[in-house]
Amino acid sequence: MNASSAQVVAIPGHSPGPLARLVARSGRWSMYRWTAAGLALVEVCALGAAAAGQLLAGPIDLLMSLAVAVAVSIVANRACAALWHAPVRDESALVTGLIVHLVAWPGTDRVSLLAVVVTAGIAAVSKYALVVRGRRLVNPAAVGLAVSGLVGLGSGSWWVATPVLLPMVAVTGLLVLQRSATWPAAAGAFITGLVGLTVWLAGSGASVPQAAASALGSYPVVFWAAFMVTDPQLLPARRLHQVVAGVASGIALAIPFSLSIGALTVSSSPATAVLVGNLVALGLRARRSRAVDARVGATRSLGGDIVEVDLITSRPISIEAGQYVELTAPSGPWTARGNRRAFTPTSTTGTPGTGLQIIFRAGEPLSSFKRSLLTDGAPLRLEGVRGDLTLPGDPGIPLVLLAGGVGITPFIAFANQLRARGEVRDVVLIHCVRHVDEIIHPEVLSGFRVIVVSPDTDGKLPEDWLRLTGSVPDAEALKRLCPDIGKRLAYVAGSPRSVARYRRALRAAGVLRVRSEALVGI
C-alpha cells in the first residue's frame, strides 16, 4: 500500500499503571542502588521494631553491627579493587553489607562482631577471588556466611526472618524483583522452599496450616528468595534455566543434610542453599558466562538523536537474535545509575575486528556512560549475554512484533538473523515512533509487513508500508491492523512503561501468548 493512499486512523493512547510508572522511574537508579534502598527500608523497620521491644536485639545492637558490616564491606571491597586493579563498586559493597547485617546475629559482644567482620570481609574478597573468565561464581554474602560457619562463628541467625518484618521484606522484595526481572528464579526458590519446609514441619507434628505459617514467618524464605537467590550476575540467561536454579536452591533449603569433608562439616542452611543454586546456575550458563573486553569503534547517526555504535570485541562472541548484553564502563564520574547498562545488539555475532552493533538515544543531557560509548576507542567490558526474547524454533508460527522507538532493536536483530539464514516468516511489525525519520534501518525491516504508528504525518515511508496516525494502538486498532492477531505469537520490547502498555493492548485484543523484554538497566 502506498503511504499516500494509506488509511489514516486516530489511535488513542494508554495511561501506564502506577507500578509501570514506578519501574520506569527506577531505571534512573542502578540495580545496586534500587536494592540498597529496599534493604534500607527493611533496616529502618527493624530499628523501629527493636525500639518497640519486638526483636530479641535492641536498637544499639542493630546500629553497631550495621555500622561494622557496612564499613568492613566497603573498606574490604576498595582494598580488593585496588589489589585486583578492578573498578570500585561501593554500591555493590553497600548491598552486601546490608544483607550481611540482616542475616548475621546483631550482637555487640566480641564473638558476634567478629562473625560480622569475617562474613563481610570474606564476602568482599569472594567478589574478586572467586571469578572465572571475568564472571563471579557465587553469591558473596552466602560465601561469607558459609566460611563463618566453617570456622565456628555460625552461618547466620537470619534474624530478619520474623513475622514483624515480613510485610516490609515482602513489599521491598517484590519491588526489587520487578526491577531486576528475576521472577523465575525467585518463584522457583520460594515455592519449592516453602512447600518443602511445610512438609518437613508437618512431618514433625504440626498441622499443615501451622507448618505453612511457621515456614513463612519464622524461616527466611521470602528474604532469601527475593534478595539472595536472585543475584542477576549469577543467573542463567534463559528464564527456564533460572527456574531450575531457583528450584535447586529451594530443594537444598528444604532438605536437611550434613556432609563431612575431612575435618570440615557442611550442613544445610539458607546460605548453603544459595550456593547450591549458584553452582547449578553456573553449569547452565557456562557456555556464555565469559566476560569479554571491548572498545568503542565507529559511530553513525541514524536520524534525530539516535546513534549506532560498533563494539569491537577482543574475542568472538555469539548472541541469539533478541538477547541483550551487559556493558560496564571503567570507573568515571559517579551517577545514580552506576556504570553498567543493558543493550540489545542488532547483530547476532561479534568477532575481533567487526564486533557488535548497539543503538541508543544520545540526546542531551548526555550521561557519562553514554559519553564513553561515543568516545572512539573507549574501553568497555561485556559482562554477559542474557534474555530469551528469541525467535521460536518453529518457522511456521505467525508472529506480531510491537515496539516503540529504539525498543525495536531486538526485532532488527530478528530481521538480520532471518536474512542471514535466507528464511522467510509470517511477521507483522507494528512500530510506534514520535517521528518517521526515527525509524531505524527500514531497509532491514523490508522482509516484514510493517505498520508505522506515529503522530508524524509528513515523513516518507516505503511504498508497501502502512501508516497510521496516533501514539499507541488500543485493542480495537490492533484487531483492525491485524485481523488474525489472536492466532499470532506476540513479542513486545522497549521501556517498562511501553511494554506494560503494549501487553495490556495485546491481551485486550485477544492475544494469548505474549513474550516481552523490558530493559531498565542493570
**Considering only CA atoms, which of 395, 299, 417, 408 is closest in space to residue 348?**
417
Mean pLDDT for 149-163 is: 91
- DSSP tally for the chain: helices H, then strands E: 16, 19
**Considering only CA atoms, which of 356, 357, 379 is closest in space to residue 369?**
379
pLDDT digits (tens, 9 = 90+) for 215-242: 999 999 999 999 999 998 899 888 899 9
Between CA 148 and CA 15 the distance in angstroms is: 50
pLDDT at 29 over 80: no
Q: What is the mean pLDDT of the chain?
A: 87
pLDDT digits (tens, 9 = 90+) for 354-389: 578 999 999 888 888 888 899 999 999 887 788 888
Phi/psi for 307 (5° steps) reads -130, 155
Q: What is the pLDDT of residue 18?
A: 58
pLDDT at 290 over 90: no
Q: What is the pLDDT of residue 434?
A: 87
CA end-to-end distance (rounded Å), the chain = 42
**Considering only CA atoms, which of 192, 103, 477 is closest in space to residue 184?**
192
Task: List, in sequence order, the alpha helices (H) in 379-443.
Answer: 409-421
Between CA 161 and CA 307 the distance in angstroms is: 48
Mean pLDDT for 448-468 is: 89
pLDDT digits (tens, 9 = 90+) for 481-496: 899 999 999 999 887 7
Q: What is the pLDDT of residue 59?
A: 96
Residue 24: which pLDDT band, with cuts at 50, 70 and 90?
A: low
Mean pLDDT for 309-313 is: 91
C-alpha distances in Å from residue 17, one per residue of 22, 171, 501, 505, 518? 9, 17, 9, 13, 15
Per-residue exposure over 275-290, b if at least 16 CB sit within 10 Å of its own CB, e if not: bbbbbbbbebbeebbb
Give percent of the chain above pLDDT 90: 58
Residue 145: which pLDDT band, with cuts at 50, 70 and 90?
A: very high
pLDDT digits (tens, 9 = 90+) for 331-355: 554 555 667 788 999 986 644 445 7
Between CA 374 and CA 297 the distance in angstroms is: 9
The answer for residues whose C-beta is within 8 angstroms of residue 393's C-beta and 6 or more apart is none
Residue 192: which pLDDT band, with cuts at 50, 70 and 90?
A: very high
pLDDT at 5 over 50: no
The answer for residues whose C-beta is within 8 angstroms of residue 385's C-beta and 6 or more apart is 237, 288, 317, 319, 323, 324, 325
Q: What is the pTM of this model?
A: 0.78
C-alpha distances in Å from residue 487, one per residue of 442, 476, 479, 511? 26, 16, 11, 7
pLDDT digits (tens, 9 = 90+) for 413-425: 999 999 989 999 9
Strand locations in 52-199 (E): 131-132, 135-136
Q: What is the pLDDT of residue 14?
A: 45
Q: What is the pLDDT of residue 170?
A: 97
Cβ atoms of residues 522 and 341 within 8 Å: yes
Q: What is the pLDDT of residue 2?
A: 37
Between CA 95 and CA 431 the distance in angstroms is: 39
Cβ atoms of residues 92 and 77 within 8 Å: yes
And the C-alpha cell for 309?
555504535
Task: Look up residue 228 and give its DSSP letter.
Answer: I
Cβ atoms of residues 125 and 183 within 8 Å: no
The answer for residues whose C-beta is within 8 angstroms of residue 521's C-beta and 6 or more apart is 27, 30, 31, 337, 338, 340, 341, 342
Residue 4: which pLDDT band, with cuts at 50, 70 and 90?
A: very low
Residue 19: which pLDDT band, with cuts at 50, 70 and 90?
A: low
30: three-class secondary structure by DSSP: coil
Mean pLDDT for 404-416 is: 92
pLDDT, greater one: 500 or 95: 95
Mean pLDDT for 302-306 is: 88
**Considering only CA atoms, which of 176, 494, 237, 519 is closest in space to residue 384?**
237
pLDDT at 285 over 80: no
Q: What is the pLDDT of residue 258?
A: 80
Q: What is the pLDDT of residue 337?
A: 61
Q: What is the pLDDT of residue 261?
A: 73
**Directed axis angle between helix 110-129 and helix 140-150, to 10°?**
130
And the C-alpha cell for 435?
517521528
pLDDT, greater one: 415 or 264: 415
Q: Residues, the chain, total?
A: 522
Cβ atoms of residues 132 and 186 within 8 Å: no
pLDDT at 50 over 80: yes
Report which residue type is found at 331. S
**Considering only CA atoms, which of 400, 468, 409 is closest in space to residue 429?**
400
**Considering only CA atoms, which of 238, 305, 323, 518 is closest in space to residue 402?**
518
